[in-house]
Amino acid sequence: MATMQAWQYTTRNHPFESNLTLNKVPKLRAPSKSTSDKTPSILVRVYAASINPADHKVPLTPIVGYFINSKPATPGLDYAGVVETVPAGCPTTLKPGDKVLGRHEWPYQHGALAEYVLGQPNGLVKLPDGLSFVQGAAIGTAALSALQPLELANIKAGDSVFINGGSGGVGSFTLQIAKLLGAAHVTVTCGPANVDRMKALGADEVINYREADVVDVLKATAKDTGRFYDIVIENVGAIDTVYENCHHFVRPGGIFVQVSGTNILFIAKRMVLPGFLSGGKRKFSSYLAYNTPDQLQRIAEWANEGKLRVEIDEEFAFENVKEAFAKLRGGRAQGKIVVRVPREGET
């Protein structure tokens, strides 16, 4: 029987990486036929995978973590590699030998931290020739989580955008994509180590949250200069006061989009009581990434054309996945953390 290597977990202890073991398991096989555009059916040989906070937070979330997938499970939402098998009837134009980048949607059992993955057709697109497997693997969830909230907010040319949490994988994509979509002014928050990096990516204003209270700065700027925002993108997920005070710095009719945060009650409170918390004229929306091939391909082409920088914080060898998760949990990554799955002839 053909085998492959895969990182797997069956337990849900803290920290997440303590549950992981590198196992030799039967090689995944694509079904002979595909009947749904969401069937995980395209067999892809993985060359690189990136990891996201959701990869360790969701499995450890009370109740949800027990039922999100069958065990043993392999973590990892995002990957890049080469198509090996496409079943008959699969709704795709991809063919064996194509270089691709992909993203899983929940729930799934066989994630990207393995030598092979069963790719979901609605989350697989061609990898442009100018991008490496490492760059391709870094795009998926983070880039979609940047583009989709901005489009949900109906961003238009000339808008002012505030991004709370600009230095991580999602935030750095959000900053760049907001500018690509015509934002006239983008303000981001970050720690001192990332201030210059945020400016280099196009931020018009950077608030160092270690040196100043974010809400106080936003309120003072609105009062002193008249700068009010059309869109707030909340990537931090734990600062109630930003939304509660947004009537001081968000235009009437503006929108506050909550991207991060796994606390259901935290989000529910904002959705039930938006009028009381934001002055009554600002809209609140929560957001969860979903696969859309057209959007994924558009992002890949932006990166290929040099319009979008894919920032890689660090690359880890496949055998060092535990170290990769430990760094991710530390919250200090400047860009994406990528795991390489070595293959002959890789780029």
pTM above 0.85, yes or no: yes
Compute the distance between CA of residue 69 and CA of residue 103 in angstroms, rounded to an integer. Answer: 16
Which three-class secondary structure string do you get for the chain?
A: CCEEEEEEECCCCCCHHHHCEEEEEECCCCCCECCCCCCCCEEEEEEEEEECHHHHHCCCCCCHHHHCCCCCEECCCEEEEEEEECCECCCCCCCCCCEEEEECCCCCCECCCECEEEECHHHEEECCCCCCHHHHHCCHHHHHHHHHHHHHCCCCCCCEEEEECCCCHHHHHHHHHHHHCCCCEEEEEECHHHHHHHHHCCCCEEEECCCCCHHHHHHHHHHHHCCCEEEEEECCCCCHHHHHCHHHCEEEEEEEEECCCCCHHHHHHHHHCHHHHHCCCCEEEECCCCCCHHHHHHHHHHHHCCCCCCCEEEEEEHHHHHHHHHHHHHCCCCCEEEEECCCCCCC
* Among candidate residues 71, 144, 64, 78, the one with its CA nearest the CA of residue 111: 78
Average pLDDT, the chain: 90
**C-alpha–C-alpha distance, residues 93 and 293, integer Å:** 12
Q: Count CA within 13 A, CB hemisphere, residue 107.
A: 11
Structure tokens at 144: 């979609």
- Kindly report, residue by residue over 310-346, the tens digit of the pLDDT: 999 999 999 999 999 999 999 888 899 999 997 754 4
**pLDDT tens, position by position, 57-83:** 999 988 888 888 899 999 999 999 999
Question: What pLDDT, on the 0 to 100 scale, is given for residue 346?
Answer: 47
Domains of the chain: 3-139+310-340 (3.90.180.10), 142-286 (3.40.50.720)
CB of 337 closer than 8 Å to CB of 328:
yes
Highest mean pLDDT among 19-33, 115-129, 239-253: 115-129
Q: Are 111 and 76 in contact (CB under 8 A)?
A: yes
> Once rounded to an integer, what is the mean pLDDT over residues 213-219?
96
